[in-house]
Amino acid sequence: MGLFLHPIFTTRAHVFQIDPNTKKNWMPASKQAVTVSYFYDVTRNSYRIISVDGAKVIINSTITPNMTFTKTSQKFGQWADSRANTVFGLGFSSEQQLTKFAEKFQEVKEAAKIAKDKTQEKIETSSNHSQESGRETPSSTQASSVNGTDDEKASHAGPANTHLKSENDKLKIALTQSAANVKKWEIELQTLRESNARLTTALQESAASVEQWKRQFSICRDENDRLRNKIDELEEQCSEINREKEKNTQLKRRIEELEAELREKETELKDLRKQSEIIPQLMSECEYVSEKLEAAERDNQNLEDKVRSLKTDIEESKYRQRHLKVELKSFLEVLDGKIDDLHDFRRGLSKLGTDN
């Protein structure tokens, strides 16, 4: 910082000050995390906490033995500065940084107490020496000093002016060094701001990519829901096919019963024909049998028509069943492809989340 300020410890934190009106709410003193440092002031034999945001000094707090640094949360601490009539607060990025700052505060406070005690001892010693020399000086000497000539006054003022000039030169050198350090810190701060801007841009791009993945995931989820609905419809159609199968089974059984009945009728017809050949005298019965035979033939024809109709229904049912099986197979292939795409998309999304 300069010839008279030696750095002891440096960290980064967000700086806050208590609201002077309410004395309750915190007001941010820096827009972002800034450098906060402990310094030893050689000229005043004291310790300070100094923080600069750009060209503005936001903290210049001299540490006294009666100050206390209080941790109010895992990443926030505060201390009161009676000279500045305010309370400073620091927000750190981690609990470890807060702990290190608090430990350093305690060390510096102890050092400030020791320095104050030494300064007090020096003042008391100097005061004692002054009192002793005053008692030893004769009154005539004191009178001549008070009533001395202008030349004597000028000779006494010369060393004082030389000392003030020397102190002024030292302060100018310290100010020049401080300005150079401020310039260096401004360059450092600009670099950090550019880095922060790049990180912010990367974060925004990552957020946009995540939003795009979310939209794609939403689209795939909607597609999956649509496919599930389609599967439900196909399952319902399969249930209808099963019901058709049951109907076909019942029709087959009915056809078998009708065929058995037809065979019985044919057997009966054969018997009647044999009887008509063996017993020619029963012409009337033959006529009756003929009529019955015609009726049986009509019934047989009707049954054959029914059988053909049933066979046609069976063929149509089989054709519909084969068509539905083909559609179901095609849909299942499409569904497998969509499920594979969904798994790939989930793996990509998981990988993106891990990278972020």
What's the pLDDT at 26? Answer: 93
pLDDT in tens, 45-89: 889 999 998 888 899 999 999 999 999 999 999 999 988 889 999
Distance from C-alpha of 128 to C-alpha of 118, rounded to nearest angstrom: 15
> What is the rounded end-to-end Cα distance, in angstroms, of the chain?
39
The whole-number average pLDDT for the span 9-22 is 92
3-state secondary structure of 39: strand
The full set of domains in the chain, from first to last, is 9-119 (2.30.29.30)
pLDDT band at 290 (very low <50, low <70, confident <90, very high): confident
What backbone torsions phi and psi does residue 35 show, to the nearest 5 degrees?
A: -80, 130
What's the pLDDT at 131? Answer: 55
Could you tell me which residue, 111 or 169, shows the higher pLDDT? 111
CB of 9 closer than 8 Å to CB of 20: no
Distance from C-alpha of 69 to C-alpha of 102, rounded to nearest angstrom: 7
CB of 247 closer than 8 Å to CB of 314: no
Q: What percent of the chain has pLDDT over 90?
A: 29
pTM of the model: 0.38
